[in-house]
Amino acid sequence: MAAIQTSFERLRASTDPDALAADATRLEGAMQVDGFWDDPAAAARVNTEYARATRKLKTYTDLAGDIEDLDGLVELAAEDDELAGELTEQLASVESRLSELEEERLFSGPYDAGDALVTVNAGAGGTDAQDWAEMVLRMMMRWAESRRFKVELLEASDGEEAGIKSATFRAEGENAYGLFNAEQGVHRLVRISPFDAQSRRQTAFAGVEVAPVIEDTGDVVIDSDDLQIDTYRASGAGGQHVNKTDSAVRITHRPTGIVVQCQNERSQSANKETAMKMLRSKILERQERERQEEIAKEKGETLDVNFGSQIRSYVLHPYTMVKDHRTDREMGDAQRVLDGDLDGFVREYLLKSAG
């Protein structure tokens, strides 16, 4: 109870329920204005903001009431053994919701609350790396689904023998970018290679890049002369148009070297439009990262946000262990992690980053 009260007081200071209520009222008023739905995209953004504010306010208000009721329930449970089970359930519920709200206060970046573009690339290690990249893609997508995010695979380039060379998916949901940003970096696998005839132990690498999905990208000016646009025949699942037309689009931005691909839409023009949105988001993400690095440099700090930094190792032989090198958090059940159980690793990293 003492720990819950301490956590809630800290949460009260950072949540500001009065400001949340004022936000919800302001947004509700905006939704009542004539012509609000004339601009569907803008209306959808306001609607999402309103839903987020009201949900957070309700969660906070319900939690405050339940915490207040706990004192009385503790006294009653001390005199009635049958209420002990109810108390245990109520404590677990309060702790779960408290943890959820505490996690939200960690997202303070300009794009943290929005959707994420997640790209997985095979690194060094040949076929093993391509197989590992597919395993990382599955892990990331399963984690997204466990968080109840909407997941849409935008592109996947198959490996020569197995796995993938690269793939990009969009995760839509509250704080998707803030959460997935914690997974950006290099993921290292150590195992007995299923592709080695002599069954030797191999090390493979896969990189994860994350960019925010930004609908309003008017500040990003892209010169068409800086673009190399290639079309190719889409592969994999995607309907009757797949493998029959060169509908897939790959765009290379020469000044930055950023490459984006899309093949899930039904036409080349739709794929190009989606790819351009992806490109703008990735350019904005790079600009923001460079700005943060410059600020850190001026303060004399080192900001470890580079794609090249190895963040986690997954050892499947001679023992099983997943270790995050940023927090030293370990988990012996590697399969559970590979099936998408990343919450513990991500939360600990976010807490450490928040100081």
Q: What is the mean pLDDT of the chain?
A: 85
How confident is the model over 263-279, as a mean pLDDT? 89
- CATH hierarchy code of domain 116-354: 3.30.70.1660
The CA-atom distances, in angstroms, between 297 and each of 286, 290, 294 are 16, 10, 5
| Model confidence pLDDT, tens digit, residues 205-246 | 999 999 888 776 566 788 999 999 999 887 654 433 344 467
Instruction: Tell me the HSE value of 297 on the side-chain side, using a 13 A CA sphere.
Output: 7
Q: Are strands 248-253 and 227-232 parallel, antiparallel or unpaired?
A: antiparallel
Question: How high is the pLDDT of residue 218?
Answer: 60
Percentage of the residues of the chain whose pLDDT score is greater than 70: 91
Residue 104's pLDDT band, with cuts at 50, 70 and 90, is confident
- Enumerate residues 6+ apart whose C-beta is below 8 A from 38: none
- Enumerate residues 6+ apart whose C-beta is below 8 A from 322: 312, 313, 314, 315, 330, 331, 334, 337, 345
Q: Is 128 within 8 Å of 206 (Cβ atoms)?
A: no
Q: Which two tokens stand for residue 25?
A: 């009222």
| Model confidence pLDDT, tens digit, residues 128-163 | 999 999 999 999 999 999 999 999 999 999 998 999
Q: Domain segments of the chain: what residues?
A: 2-104, 116-354
For domain 2-104, give the CATH superfamily: Release factor (1.20.58.410)
Rg (CA), the chain: 23
- pTM here? 0.77
Question: How high is the pLDDT of residue 302?
Answer: 47
How confident is the model over 91-117, as a mean pLDDT? 83
Q: Check pLDDT > 60 for residue 25.
A: yes
Q: Check pLDDT > 70 for residue 354.
A: yes
Q: Are strands 310-315 and 185-192 parallel, antiparallel or unpaired?
A: parallel
| Model confidence pLDDT, tens digit, residues 105-114 | 788 777 888 8
Q: Check pLDDT > 80 for residue 294.
A: no
Question: How high is the pLDDT of residue 242?
Answer: 41
Question: How high is the pLDDT of residue 19?
Answer: 85
Question: How high is the pLDDT of residue 56?
Answer: 83
**Nearest CA to 96 among 125, 124, 67?**
67
Question: How far is it, in rounded angstroms, from Cα 82 to Cα 32?
Answer: 49
Q: Is 163 within 8 Å of 131 (Cβ atoms)?
A: yes
**Nearest CA to 217 among 104, 106, 117?**
117
